[in-house]
Structure 1
Amino acid sequence: LRANEARFLAIMDHTPLTVSLKDRAGRYTFVNRALQDYLGRPPEEILGRTLADFRPHIFADAMSAHDRDVIAEKRAIQREIRDPEGARDFLAVKFPVLEDGEVSALGTIMLDITELKRMQSTLVHAQKMEALGQLTGGIAHDFNNLLTAILLNSDVLASRIENPSLRALAEAMRGAADRGADLTRRLLAFGRQQALEPRPTDVNELLWRMEPLMHRTLGEHIEIALERADALWLAQVDSGQLENAVLNLAVNARDAMPSRGRLTIETANVELDETAARFDAKPGDYVMVAVSDTGSGMSEQVLAHVFEPFFTTKEVGRGTGLGLSMVYGFVKQSGGHVQVYSELGVGTVVKLYLPRAHEAAATEPAGAATAELPHGDEVILLVEDDALVRAHAEHQLASLGYRVVAAEQAVQALQLMNDGLRPDLLFTDMVMPGGINGRELGERARQLLPGLKVLYTTGYAGAASVALATDALSSPYVLGKPYRRRDLATKVRAVLDESAAG
């Protein structure tokens, strides 16, 4: 019997579960080592006392109510209970010890499920953000086709109309379309469906170059401090989109400090280990950019929705609710991670973890854009399923001197080439009906015509084409929708002028 008791005690003291026995009055008669550690007391200070002697009454009262139900029903009952003092969640199983059909004592086994609930919450949040990303990306795709036609037409009208009042209307239309294009870019950024050009980037230098812009944008009442780490790694990131993200965070910080305040931007090298999975991040080396303010801060309720598109606490007309959504989508698409810390009345810190680059930073090519639009006389095979966009793109390319052959679907384009068409450039939409997407069309076209130049256009890299289009979307051979006449002219000329190896 003594050996059995020793084995029982050894098992109880080595289990990670908290195990206890209490009498009907709630006084402890047995506690294992896990419960002793949880209460922070040796057994002699626990036995003969109740839970209310050690923990907050709200927690003790919930446990006592659980005890009363077990006594009344004479059966084991399982519940989830939260200890507010330690902000921990437990799965508690209470069972009766019966003697002659009556409850003589109560047993309790508790499992700490705090981390499990946090991981469940993280998973639910990630799934919600993924669903929202797919929805917003789909809307942006259709909207971009409409905006492309509007922008191309308004460019032509604004340049050809001589009547000042009518020209003003055309320019107003172009301005409205530009604002719509900016909105769809933000939606695509949130949905991780924008075309990025990641390259090794010196983040310290980028922030140094941005400082004058931030001073002008934020105003004199905001003190700006840059704390740049020495020997900072290069980040593999689209530098232009990173500038937009940092500026978005800076403007949000300014709005949280209407009177005065301090904005601090800090950089550091960070190594995330396996515990990074708790925060929906991959282990590895990252360049961290932290943007902190001394503003009003956010409540837990606001923090739970802070990355959702169109969610904003600002008054009507002060913001779209897409700033942090865009930052979230951009960093996630770049292979990074975002964390937000905030406290009401203290301020907010947003940390961007950008993947480390293992190559030298590329230098920007010299040269500036000329006032005159690039043009040419080459043959372009245009493939676009949207009739409105196809008609206007064909017209604009022809006005630049190119000879254009248009097709509605990939099958028609392949048939044209099989029939003898020899284009200098294939300009194709990425997402099309008919079973062949733009990426596949480009591959088949190059089988027919090795060395053919290919330029893709897309307003949406949806789930159906993301795997096939990944290489194209991260290359320079993509013209994002909606595009302006200058964008079209510049990109087409650039691709035609590149070597056939492209």
Structure 2
Amino acid sequence: MEHLAFRVLLFGRGHGPGVVPGRAGVHRLWGQLGCRMPGSPAIMAPSEPSVGFVANLGGWSDAKGPAAVTNRDNIEGAARFAVLVESSADAIIGVDSDARILIWNKAAEALFKYSANEAVGQPISIIWPEHKRAEAEANVAAVRRGESVVGFETERLAKDGTLCSVSITLSPVFNDQGDRIGSSMICRDISRRLELERELRHSQKLEALAMMTARVAHDFNNQLMAIMGYTDLALASERRDDVDRSLTQVRMASERAAALVGKLLAFGRKRPGSVEPVDLNEQVRRTAELIRSLLSPDIEFELRLQDQLDSVRLDPVGLDQVLMNLAVNASDAMPAGGRLTITTRQQRLVATDPGTGVPAGTWVVIDVADTGSGIDEALQPLVFEPFLTTKPEGKGTGLGLSTVKDIVDQAGGFVAFDSRPGQGTVFHVYHHAADGRAERLESTGSRAGRSERPKSVLLLEDDDQLRALMTRVLTEAGHDVAAFSSTHQALVWSGLNSVQLLIADLLAPGMGGMDFVKRLRATNPRLAVLVLSGNGGDAPQLPASSEGFGFAQKPISPSELVDVVDSLTGRA
């Protein structure tokens, strides 16, 4: 505490951390504070009012009489201020005009892991991570111009190399003559708050999933009924053309069911996916299948998609969540029914749009419009604030639109809206147009370059029906297949036989698919590997050498399976 009071007094007089008065003067200053001087063996009582020292830019000098009283008041004020600073739960840092640290309280020690002795005298840049340096320098420049920076959320670097999520307030500090002598910084640790917000946003996704469960079950059961019905017709028919038509319908129903499950798994993922070029119209069409499942029958749903849009680079899973959140809000705004319309269009701005703040450039825009109750004018400025909700208690987290804005912001886009109470709302989502038109990538099914020589394939799949299916498909494609349901059986067989390709389910019983892969690759680095997964998660981490390593999500068609296997074994 005495160290801090001393630094507070120096800071208030305009001294930097390198300005140190003589030891005798320091000793008597600590006496006036009623504290023990560092290195002194005893606690000293406050000196008489007639003895004091005045700190100024020119140094230290004896003072008696009124000057001493004034000086003692200054010292006592510094001591009281030091108590406040040390008691703060927020990190409080004082920086001199050269951006060197002069004040560093206990909360700063706890947050950044530097002791006061280590931090004082160091440049404030010791807590700047390299990727935030330009941002921090801009803030310092603003303070030097006499401006304040309030509630700026960013990251700073601790002594042990960890990043701290903080809210920073920076203010210039002036002396009695109006000269800027430094700046004050208050850093609040917001890591816990951000963690809670992430968890709440995820719960908001789960809330949307819960809303669509009944409708999804209905749609999925429809597909199952179609599969079973057409299969029975094919089995009962003696005419080849009837069998072909029935099996075609089975195939189509299976694809619709697989797409539905895939969308649900992707939407329920906690982590965002990768940023990639996206055909916006195609992505909207796919998400529309889920949106239809959550809308009540009395809400009309329409897509108006402009042809020949430029592609955009974004996270498809994030876009799904944006559209789902906007659709849920629109549905809630139309309890008695109405119309929900999703439109895509391309817009070229030659200057910043004064209404939305969207800068000049080429934008691919999604408009989500409803004919619902609209947004109250008093609430419109707060629409994107977290936890704002007009729904009854327990019916919403108030994070739907906040999450939309966060996702769009992270993608470098903009979101705006128009709303009139009683007439509905339109949300406009802007994404940067990438170079070139979007192209839909389709499998050609080409088998050019396929090796005609049979390959030795070890298949690890615990589902009996799938194991039999894949064995038949690969055998008919000319491969020698040994199929097992557990890693223990497969391990024994692989120790006695040569294997060129391993196909393993990620969740295979026993040691697990990836552990089994690593074990076999340790003895056979050239082993080609195909890992399959049916849980909709991310691809597993690739081995150190990923040559000849493939990953595919179930369901995978027989032709796709053969193509992937032939591609991998061509490198084995």
TM band (smaller chain): 0.3 to 0.5
- The structure having more radius of gyration, on CA atoms, is 2
* TM-score, length of structure 2 as denominator length: 0.40
Greater RCO (Cα-Cα under 8 Å, separation 6 or more)? 1
* TM-score, length of structure 1 as denominator length: 0.45
